Copies of this chain bind each other. A is one copy, B any other.
Amino acid sequence: MTFMEKLSKAWKDGNSLVCVGLDPDKAKLPACVRSLPHPIFEFNRAIIDATCRDVCCYKPQAAYYAGQGVDDELLMTMEYLRKHHPEIPVILDAKRADIGNTTKMYAMEAFDRYGADAVTVNPYMGMDALKPFLDRADKGVVVLCRTSNAGAREIQELRLENGQFLYQRVAQLIAGPWNYNGNTMLVAGATFPQELGEIRRLVGRTPLLVPGIGAQGGDLEGVLKHGLTGDGTGLVINSSRGIIYASSGTDFAEAAAAACRELKNAINALR
């Protein structure tokens, strides 16, 4: 099954648009897992088992594993997901891009070393920098378009000579010429729901990965109003801190399950 088929099925089977971001910071782990041999993996496993019936996707953030030197625990997490929850697609959030031979190595990292179903990438270097990702028709390629940080507008909202914002042109490329295998998605932050609507108009049914709900204060109602496709899907709405750190006590997994279900229900009440 391709990533896109897996995602469509997960939207339906789980009746959920929620993606849980697995961004574990050692300093924020509950005391009860900190002393275990692989604390980050054990934390992820508990969160995964607690939330798996209410998600359409998981999204481990590569930076947390790279920065803390725990590539092995990312690998263990990916293997655990593949073995125990093979039906749930996994997006490795890595925001990669480089030139020819180098970017092939990044595609190997995401798809072969870690076995991700999809990966986030950066559009600044153009399509050829993303080709080893885009060529993998079975995998998903989630390209940054309009990110959720305040400073995003510095570059992404530069106005082009034809009157478009840069991010609008990037949206057209991602859903158009870069989508030759029908495997692209876009990152469009929840913090700018109206721009998300403009993106939706430009990209048709191409799915959007929406970060910025929860800790970053995105507007859920606006996101759904402007971002849904006609069949009430088309969105992968990510929450990380709001779910994984819902409690810092021994009940952290139950609290994560409750926070995840709450977000799922809040979304479903609006779509």
Contacts and interface: CB of A to CB of B under 8 A. Distances in A.
Interface of A: 23, 25, 61, 63-64, 66-69, 71, 95-109, 112-113, 122-129, 144, 147-156, 158-161, 163, 166, 169-170, 173, 211, 216
A109 B106 CA distance: 16
Contacts of A113: 66-67, 69
B104 A67 contact: yes
Given A99-B149, A124-B144, A105 B67 contact: yes
Contacts of A169: 158
Count the copies. 2
A152 B166 contact: no
Contacts of A155: 123-126, 166, 170, 173
Nearest to A147: B125
24 contacts: A25-B105, A63-B96, A63-B103, A67-B104, A67-B108, A67-B112, A67-B113, A69-B113, A95-B97, A95-B98, A97-B122, A99-B147, A122-B124, A123-B155, A124-B144, A125-B149, A126-B149, A127-B151, A128-B150, A154-B173, A155-B166, A155-B170, A155-B173, A158-B169
